[in-house]
Amino acid sequence: MKCADPYQITNFLMLFKEFAQSNFYFVDRKKNLDCLARLGIMPQQAKEEIMGLTHEDYHKGPLPDKGTTGGELWEFGKKIEGKEIFIRLKVVLQYNMAKCQSFHIAEKPMQYPYKGGIK
């Protein structure tokens, strides 16, 4: 799979963060909530971690969302409390919504094509 370039990633994150200011949705799946409990943080703190993401935290995407609303999914990773956290985000344009679909401990090692600078 081809990686998005740093500018595409940055553009996605800028739009996501803009929408998140007023319309942020954290999907409260059991896996996500269990992760928050394990880390000892609340959804607001998870949002703050997400708002700090950069192109260097990029893992994969955009990937087609095969769910009911379609669109694209972007995957990122971040170390929080010593754990590698898998984060899957989506912008829902029709609702100007920033959606965090996944926020849980990574189940397998993640790759970061831009960690350490723009390539």
Q: Rounded mean pLDDT of 64-76?
A: 87
**Cα–Cα distance list, 32 to 14, 27, 36 (Å):** 23, 8, 6
Pairing of strands 72-80, 58-64: antiparallel
80 part of a folded domain: yes
118 part of a folded domain: no
79 part of a folded domain: yes
117 part of a folded domain: no
32 part of a folded domain: yes
pLDDT in tens, 27-52: 989 999 999 999 999 999 999 999 99
Tokens 């739009």 correspond to 15
> Which pLDDT value is given to residue 71?
87
Tokens 């170390």 correspond to 79
93 part of a folded domain: yes
pLDDT in tens, 94-116: 899 999 999 999 999 899 999 87
11 part of a folded domain: yes
115 part of a folded domain: no
What's the CA gap between 60 and 46, in Å, rounded?
Answer: 20
> Which pLDDT value is given to residue 67?
77
Which range of residues forms the domain containing residue 82? 6-105
Tokens 């971040």 correspond to 78
Domain of 17, CATH number, reads 3.30.2310.40
> Which pLDDT value is given to residue 115?
87
Domain count, the chain: 1
86 Cβ contact partners less than 8 Å away, ≥ 6 residues apart: 59, 75, 77, 102, 103, 104, 105, 106, 107, 110
